[in-house]
Amino acid sequence: MPRRPLQKLQASLAARRFYLEKQSKSQIAEELGVSRFKVARLIDTAVEEGIVRIEIVGQGDINVELAEALRHKYGLKTALVLDGPDLSTGALVEPLGLLAADFLEETLVDGQLLGMSWGRTLAATATALTTLPKVDVVQAAGSPAGLDLSQNPTELVHRFARASGGVAYPLFGPMWVEDPGLIDKLRNESSISNAISRYDKIDVLVVGIGSWRPQESCLCSGFPDDWRRDALKRGVYADVCATLVDKDGGQVGSPLDTAGLCLSTSQLLRIPERIGIGGGLEKAEAIRAVLKGGWVTSLVTDAGVARQLAA
């Protein structure tokens, strides 16, 4: 004979009414002729004795545990981790682009100003977009040297703006010039100043994370040779838009600070939401440096990187 059969019956009924029929505890209490506090104890009993089994179902392509580990460890607002084995950066460009596109479609809000950088993963994000909330889009830097057209920030700004139905603010110019006398003239050119004047109003910035050790960065490969050698000598591990970052997350000064047509470091840090996208084992240390420095507020990455960063 089962012990305490009435309690088991009531626990089963309370659990069924609460979990399946979505009744309130007050409604259940009235039906069973007991107090609301008794109903709460009955529901707890149903769970403890296995009358109710609660299963947290995995989210398919999202690794929830690793995402939460990164979010807590690095103080992120959001972390999205693409589940799967350890993979190289090249194998993750399209999957991370798709995940980032879904994230932007879900989280952007009508009326915001979105800042854009450049790169392979952001190009994949642009390809994966269907419809964005109605946001305006501004190019956060001129075009780095040697970029493929599909990765060019001017092209990406227009592709994002088409998906949103908002206004595009491209920056028709190079990311830097080596002639000190030319930079002020370029900054005052109308099409360039039209974009730069909006940098202090950006609500959300979406950026790729570039690695300098090993060199998996469009910015690193496009830098003039003497700039690149100097940056590596000074300990650069990563880049976020036009900001160079060392292994411990500190900023490393560069010629871009004075000769760049780009979002400044101080402007970057004032942006409320900064979404970094990057993955692949080659980029793990660069992403770690960026997270340690607090350069992004949200991260889209893969499980291979997340396992290293959460360890």
pLDDT in tens, 114-154: 999 988 999 999 999 999 999 999 999 998 876 666 678 89
CATH classification at residue 220: 3.40.50.1360
In this structure, the answer to whether residues 300 and 166 fall within a common structural domain is yes
**Could you give the CA distance from residue 8 to residue 167 in angstroms, rounded to a whole number?**
63
The reply to whether 22 falls in a domain is yes
Overall number of domains in the chain: 2
Tokens of residue 217, six digits: 């960065």
**Could you give the CA distance from residue 273 to residue 8 in angstroms, rounded to a whole number?**
50
In this structure, the answer to whether residues 30 and 98 fall within a common structural domain is no
pLDDT in tens, 59-116: 458 899 999 999 999 999 999 999 999 999 999 999 999 999 999 999 999 999 999 9
CATH classification at residue 42: 1.10.10
pLDDT in tens, 194-208: 999 999 999 999 999
Q: Dihedral of the CA atoms 297, 298, 303, 309 (nearest 10)?
A: 0
In this structure, the answer to whether residues 76 and 9 fall within a common structural domain is no
Tokens of residue 165, six digits: 């139905």
Q: Give 130: exposed, middle or buried? Use CB within 10 Å, 0-12, 13-18, 19+.
A: exposed
Write down the pLDDT at residue 311.
Answer: 86
Q: What are the beta bridge partners of residue 243? A: 240
Give residues with Cβ within 8 angstroms of 144, minimum separation 6. 118, 175, 218, 219, 222
Is the Cα torsion angle 94, 98, 101, 107 positive or negative in sign?
negative
